[in-house]
Amino acid sequence: MRDTASVLHLDLDAFFAAVEQRDKPSLRGKPVVVGGTGGRGVVATASYEARRFGVRSAMSTREARSRCPHAAFLSGRFPAYRAASELVMAELRAVSPLVEPLSLDEAFVDLAAAGLPDLTLPTVTEVAQRLRARVAEVTGGLTASVGLASSKFVAKVASELDKPDGLTVVPPGTEQELLRPMPARVIPGVGPQTTERLRRAGVHTVADLEALSLDELVRLLGKAHGHGLHAFARAQDDRPVVAEREAKSVSVEGTYDTDLTDRRLMEGLLTRQAGEVATRLRAHGLSGRTVTIKVRLHDFTTLSRSSTLPSPTDAAGVVARTARTLLADLDTSGGVRLLGVGVSGLADWVQEDLFADDAALGDEAADEVAPVDLEAAFPRRRTWPPGADVVHEEHGRGWVWGSGRGVVTVRFETAASPSGPVRSFAEDDPALQRWTSTEPDPGEVTTQPLSSPT
């Protein structure tokens, strides 16, 4: 543990919902719930206005509707969230080269690497306040909560204390005082199972945990976990802030308006995406060892599964076959709304001789799946998920307020406009189109990890 409060943890407030409120002026100050809007959907997040009614992440949307029937229920716009996240991470990297993102809306920043004149409390506090202001400025008004402390553990705990839009600085030396009354589950690695085991041993708070000897903890939880908890209970945490590895990945993904349920269709889509990934790898002279698939289920849960190959590949067939094998282990019976394939662990050379066999194997593997007529199986029927961006020939930009019985209702407003009017159209009105702005350039090699925060 350091003797300065130079570890900063930043977490955006009600992230997805805040982006929706930014882009939909009529929803500002109102309850907003983002998540799966179908019958079996779950809540990804809720605005603070909706949380007042007891709506929480991971709750079923059905339950959320009964607690807060007047909330706006939106199905989510990932490209917009990704774009906002990138702006925030760029601001953090402008402060210090040592930035460790934990998810789209959360990161550690090591201020000891920021080249500051000193690391006194006034200096780091001032940096944190300036950073919060910059985040709001570049994102068009998103707020972030920040914790400053002498370790990752305490900085993360601190960022929660004054949410939303708060800053908590924990002066070095006061960490234990802060932690002692808190529930044991604030400690990293203490999930529901450990919490339950501790509860049965009469341990509820960090102070209770601190009272246990190392021997007792090891007996209760095993060696590794016991040692870890013994240290955390004393606010001892020396984990360094580790900058994101320059692990480039090449990935392709697609979002589907209709939930996919047909396995063969999914395999066909993965195979086609694998082909695009391989083409891009070769175009950049790259190859990689780790194949990852990303699957977002009907209820908004996002899964990713990876497999590391014995040697790097840029062969479509190898990527496709690995992706299909990974898919085979997932339960997708409820339907899938996003599928993606990526290759990471990239080397910028291919040892052609060594992998000649691989490539041959690849082409053969590509043929294993009978071609699916994707257009026929998956017609480009236009759908209108709640919250989706649209544009109308005459009325301009807006978002889907609701749809059904052949009618789609749109509210015409944008981040930059005042709250706008609502109008209804026939679902097949050619004057109305879905609108996308921030889709990543499909021809680009990204440095974004394929994994998702959800």
314 sits near Mg ion (criterion: CB under 5 A): no
- For residue 318, CA distances in Å to 5, 329, 366, 451 come to 48, 17, 8, 21
Task: Confirm if 16 and 45 have CB atoms less than 8 A apart.
Answer: yes
The size of the chain, in residues, is 454
Stretch that binds ligand DCP, among 11-19, 125-133, 213-221, 268-276 (CB under 6 A): 11-19
Tell me the angle at which helices 78-95 and 121-138 cross, rounded to the nearest 10 degrees.
150
Is 299 assigned a ligand-binding role in the annotation?
no
253 sits near Mg ion (criterion: CB under 5 A): no
* Catalytic residue list contains 394: no
Task: Confirm if 315 and 278 have CB atoms less than 8 A apart.
Answer: yes
167 sits near ligand DCP (criterion: CB under 6 A): no
Following DSSP, what letter does each residue of 330-378 receive, concatenated? S--TT-EEEEEEEEEEEES---HHHHHHHHHHHHHHHTTSPP--HHHHS
Site for ligand DCP in 192-211 (CB under 6 A): none
Give the shortest CB-451-to-ligand DCP separation in angstroms: 13
413 sits near ligand DCP (criterion: CB under 6 A): no
20 sits near Mg ion (criterion: CB under 5 A): no
Is 110 assigned a ligand-binding role in the annotation?
no
The entry of Mg ion, ligand DCP, none near residue 4 (CB within 5 to 8 angstroms by kind) is: none
Stretch that binds Mg ion, among 9-17, 82-90, 160-168, 333-341 (CB under 5 A): 9-17
Q: How far apart are the two ends of the chain, measured CA to CA in Å?
A: 30
269 sits near ligand DCP (criterion: CB under 6 A): no
**Which residue from 22, 163, 199, 227 is in contact with ligand DCP, where contact means CB under 6 A?**
163
Q: Which of 98, 167, 177 is nearest to 131 (CA)?
A: 167
Q: How far apart are CA 414 and CA 169, in angstroms?
A: 36
**Which residue from 58, 211, 242, 247 is in contact with ligand DCP, where contact means CB under 6 A?**
58
Q: How far apart are CA 5 and CA 194, in angstroms?
A: 29
Tokens 């209820």, located at residue: 299
Report the residue number, 58 or 426, with the smaller CB distance to ligand DCP: 58
Stretch that binds Mg ion, among 105-113, 192-200, 203-211, 273-281 (CB under 5 A): 105-113
Binding residues for Mg(2+): 11, 105
Binding-site residue numbers are 11, 105
Report the catalytic residues.
Answer: 106
Note the residues at the interface with ligand DCP (CB under 6 A). 11-16, 44-45, 57-58, 105-106, 163-164, 453-454
